[in-house]
Every structure is written in structure tokens, then in C-alpha cells.
Amino acid sequence: MLICHENRGLTPHIQDVARRFAKAGYAALALDLLSREGGTASLDRDAVPGALTKAGAQRHVSDFAAAFDYLNSQDFVDSGRIAMTGYCFGGGITWQAATELSGLKATSAFYGPAPDLAKVAAIKPAVLGVYAELDERITGALPAFRDALADTDVRHELKVYPGVDHAFHNDIGERYKEAQANVAWNHTLDWFGRYV
């Protein structure tokens, strides 16, 4: 399982998500996409989003391509059975990776911006989108994204969770909603159980 963090970098929440996947039986790898800059912990908290933006989405997807190859080469990993998940900014990177890393079996993007619709036809893994009803900035783009996915053979589901806002899964954030976060987590585990 490849895990992409939010725009706050590799935080305790994302480290805990990796722990949860490990407890569920996955080899889990949460990258720090700011390793070249010294790592998330070495930067001022307010500088992290800008550093991620400056590095660019293509560098981040390339880092996950390298992580994919690394996991796939490990004796304790079932070759060819790699999935990816991401949150917020990381959900957007997960969507980008789904259009470029054809070896992924499945992805689950939590409230991540959709990829360029012209690239949707390149998606190969089974893709799950986890969205929040109150997150109009991100969720508002779903109708066009749904239409683009419907024009492909991609196994997909875009799920909008009622009554919650962006980052509802982050249990150390202000918008955390335990009940819906648990439903989304179980839905994600079920998705990966079916397609990985």
C-alpha cells in the first residue's frame, strides 16, 4: 500500500494511517514527499504546503513510481498487487498516479481533486473516490468527472459522504467526523479487498 500525505506533509495522522493498513495485513509505505528538502519535520509547518507546490505534481508522481518499484521488489510483497491511497493534496496525487502508474491494482483518493479529464481514459486501476458533501470546492467537480469515468471501462466508484466536510477522515483535525470516517475507512478496505 502506497500512502500519500496531505499538504501538511508526513504528519502523525498519515503515519497512523500506515499503521492501520499494516494492521489490516498490508505492507504500507507512507512517503515523505519533502525528503529532498530535509523532510517534513525539518521545515516550518507553514512552509510545507508551498514546498510541496514548488516541487510539483510530476515529481511527486515520480517518487511514487519509484516507491511502487521498491515495494514490488520486496520478498514480503505479493508482486503486482500494489494499491495507493491519498488524502486531500495526496488524493489529487493519487488520481494523478492512477493516470500514469498502470501497474497499480486499485486506488482510493480521499477528497482529492480530479485529474485532468483528458487523462481519465489512461486510468487502469480500480479507482475509488471518497468525497465530502460539504466540500463544494472539490465535490462540485464530480459530475464532469463521473461522466468522464462512465465513458471508460475503468472499475470506479465516487462516493459522497453526507454531512461532512473536507478532511473528515483526519482524526487530529477540526473537521474529523468519527462515524463517517469509519464508514469511509471500511469502504476503502472493502474496495482494496475486492481489487487488490
Q: Which residue has the cell 510545507?
A: 48
In the residue annotation, 88 being an active-site residue is answered as yes
Catalytic residue (one of 32, 135, 156, 169): 135
Q: Quick check: 33 and 116 in contact, CB under 8 A?
A: no
Catalytic residue (one of 4, 13, 88, 156): 88
- Using DSSP's 3-state secondary structure scheme, residue 107 falls into strand
Sign of torsion over alpha carbons 9, 12, 14, 18: positive
Q: Quick check: 153 and 124 in contact, CB under 8 A?
A: no
Q: Select from 97, 22, 95, 90 the least CA-distant residue to 66.
A: 97
Catalytic residue (one of 13, 60, 156, 166): 166
In the residue annotation, 166 being an active-site residue is answered as yes
Sign of torsion over alpha carbons 187, 108, 35, 103: positive
**Rounded Cα distance, 125 and 71, in Å:** 17
Q: Residue 48 CB: number of other CB atoms within 10 A?
A: 23
Catalytic residues: 88, 135, 166
